[in-house]
């Protein structure tokens, strides 16, 4: 991107020449909103409306129970998993859609301990997304495994010969910092440990190649950059080399080798199917599939180039237009070290965020002092970034964020 492009007219010119400009038409977005929270909940793809209608009226409404066979419902977890596999660089049979990220972390960490008998340490990162640590803590309390939580800079050193696996987020939810997937995975393998990556802020956000990085296990979220809808099912990935010895504790009939044989004893299904537990949530998977299909034919390197350009524009404009207003960029400037968001630090970030939302600029707040702006090139324009930074500047200079109503905490921030 031309780094001198910092007027609104420059941004409009960039939008006119944007090879991804037409991708926005695939989404339903209100006209008066700048949506910078697709890293928390992606907007509905137009395809989702059609798919939801077909599911409700034809598949569920007319097909009824026959649709498990006739409408491809029963294969949906693997079919949609294979589509997600393409986005993260996994092989088709290595990814399945199931449960939530939280539940999948439990299943995969249990599997990691079982794959490395005799080792009982799980390494995690301090300050990582809380649910990851909570669920690992619960597993440790249940199994006697030990959690070793360290700063990101200490991760490599903390993975020693007693470690079964590390489980860390590839792109940090708060700062947008991206870790070195290749380097840390290789370091874990040198001591015989497994590498498990949480891809919640990476899948659909940055180019990924879990095969090239030799990743063992991964989880990720369906409702953020994949635009699968609120509470969409998550995915889990297991490298083929582990399938034969793969065990997870939530033995359910959908992960059984023959679910409809109704056998009294559990026999795990082939490969990744044993990561399934209960009946797939078909309505939700249909919406997720529409979200994933919106990525078909999209060139991820073009997405990455635009997301970096949007972030550069954002950081440059904040430096130029908001200097002296008490706000600073915390996301690393180095493109190798950041994902697809810009995080700004401001002492009163919560009321600032609320005041911006009142103006139609939707980002989110993460404690204690972070305003997060998610950059999603499929439906964001350069001019949106310009308008968002202008809104930040006006809200700060007018001090409108000090209004008492903006200090009232909502349940979801």
Which residues make up the interface to ligand PLP (CB under 6 A)? 100-102, 129, 131-132, 169, 173, 198, 200-201, 221, 234
Answer yes or no: 348 catalytic. no
The full DSSP string for 223-238 is SSTT---TT--EEEEE
Q: Name the minimum Å distance from CB 72 to ligand PLP.
A: 25
Of 125, 224, 306, 393, the catalytic one is 224
Nearer to ligand PLP, 101 or 376 (CB): 101
CA 410 to mean position of chain CA atoms: 23
Nearer to ligand PLP, 92 or 127 (CB): 127
Beta carbons of 87 and 294 less than 8 angstroms apart: no
Question: How far is Cα 266 from Cα 256, in angstroms, rounded to an integer?
Answer: 6
295-306 burial, b if ≥16 CB within 10 A, otherwise e?
beeeebeebbbb
Of 372, 379, 381, 406, the catalytic one is 372
Of 37, 198, 216, 364, the catalytic one is 198
Beta carbons of 120 and 147 less than 8 angstroms apart: no
Six-digit token string for 349: 């970030």
Beta carbons of 179 and 168 less than 8 angstroms apart: yes
CA distances to 104, 175, 276, 321 from 311, rounded to whole Å, are 31, 13, 38, 15
**Cross-strand bridge partners of residue 344:** 329, 371
User: Is the bond preceding residue 368 a cis peptide, omega within 30 degrees?
Assistant: yes
**Cross-strand bridge partners of residue 328:** 345
CA distances to 133, 387, 413 from 360, rounded to whole Å, are 34, 10, 15
Q: Name the minimum Å distance from CB 130 to ligand PLP.
A: 8
Return the residue matching tokens 């031309």.
2
Question: Do the strands 95-98 and 234-238 form a parallel or antiparallel pair, or are they unpaired?
Answer: antiparallel
Question: How far is Cα 346 from Cα 328, in angstroms, rounded to an integer?
Answer: 7
Question: How far is Cα 290 from Cα 288, in angstroms, rounded to an integer?
Answer: 5
Nearer to ligand PLP, 39 or 185 (CB): 39
Q: Name the minimum Å distance from CB 396 to ligand PLP.
A: 28
Answer yes or no: 198 catalytic. yes
Beta carbons of 186 and 66 less than 8 angstroms apart: no
| Backbone φ and ψ of 220, nearest 5° | -170, 170
* Alpha helix positions (H), 268-324: 282-293, 300-321
Nearer to ligand PLP, 94 or 99 (CB): 99
Of 27, 35, 106, 129, the catalytic one is 129
Residues 6 or more apart in contact with residue 258 via CB below 8 angstroms: 267
Nearer to ligand PLP, 67 or 169 (CB): 169
Q: Name the minimum Å distance from CB 316 to ligand PLP.
A: 27
Answer yes or no: 223 catalytic. yes
Answer yes or no: 70 catalytic. no
| Backbone φ and ψ of 236, nearest 5° | -135, 145
Return the residue matching tokens 């537990």.
277
Beta carbons of 6 and 320 less than 8 angstroms apart: yes
Nearer to ligand PLP, 140 or 400 (CB): 140
Active site residues: 129, 198, 223-224, 372
């Amino acid at each position: 991107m031309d780094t001198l492009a910092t007027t609104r007219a420059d941004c409009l010119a960039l939008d006119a020449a944007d090879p991804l400009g037409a991708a926005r038409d695939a989404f339903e977005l209100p006209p008066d909103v700048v949506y910078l929270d697709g890293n928390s909940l992606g907007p509905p793809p137009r395809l989702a409306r059609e798919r939801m209608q077909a599911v409700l009226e034809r598949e569920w409404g007319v097909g009824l129970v026959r649709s498990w066979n006739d409408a491809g419902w029963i294969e949906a977890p693997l079919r949609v998993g294979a589509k997600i596999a393409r986005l993260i660089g996994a092989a088709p049979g290595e990814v399945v859609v199931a449960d939530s990220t939280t539940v999948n972390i439990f299943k995969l960490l249990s599997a990691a301990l079982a794959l490395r008998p005799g080792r009982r340490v799980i390494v995690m990162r301090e300050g990582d997304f809380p649910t990851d640590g909570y669920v690992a803590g619960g597993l440790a309390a249940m199994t006697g495994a030990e959690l070793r939580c360290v700063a990101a800079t200490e991760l490599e050193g903390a993975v020693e010969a007693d470690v079964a696996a590390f489980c860390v987020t590839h792109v940090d939810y708060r700062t947008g910092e991206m870790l070195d997937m290749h380097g840390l995975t290789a370091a874990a393998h040198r001591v015989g440990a497994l590498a498990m990556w949480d891809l919640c802020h990476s899948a659909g956000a940055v180019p990924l190649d879990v095969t090239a990085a030799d990743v063992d296990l991964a989880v990720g979220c369906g409702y953020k950059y994949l635009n699968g809808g609120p509470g969409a099912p998550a995915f889990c990935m297991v490298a083929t080399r582990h399938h034969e010895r793969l065990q997870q504790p939530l033995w359910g009939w959908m992960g059984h080798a023959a679910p409809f044989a109704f056998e009294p004893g559990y026999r795990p299904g082939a490969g990744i199917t044993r990561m399934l537990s209960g009946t797939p949530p078909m309505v939700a998977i249909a919406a997720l599939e529409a979200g994933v299909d919106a990525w078909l034919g999209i060139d991820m390197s073009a997405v990455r180039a635009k997301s970096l350009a949007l972030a550069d524009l954002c950081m440059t404009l904040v430096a130029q237009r908001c200097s002296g207003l008490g706000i600073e960029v915390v996301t690393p400037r180095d493109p190798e070290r950041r994902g697809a968001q810009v995080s700004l630090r401001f002492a009163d970030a919560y009321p600032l965020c609320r005041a911006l939302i009142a103006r139609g600029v939707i980002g989110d707040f993460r404690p204690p002092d972070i305003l997060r702006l998610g950059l999603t090139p499929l439906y964001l324009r350069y001019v949106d970034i310009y308008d968002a930074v202008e809104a930040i500047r006006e809200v700060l200079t007018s001090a409108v964020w000090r209004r008492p109503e903006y200090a009232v905490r909502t349940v979801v921030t």
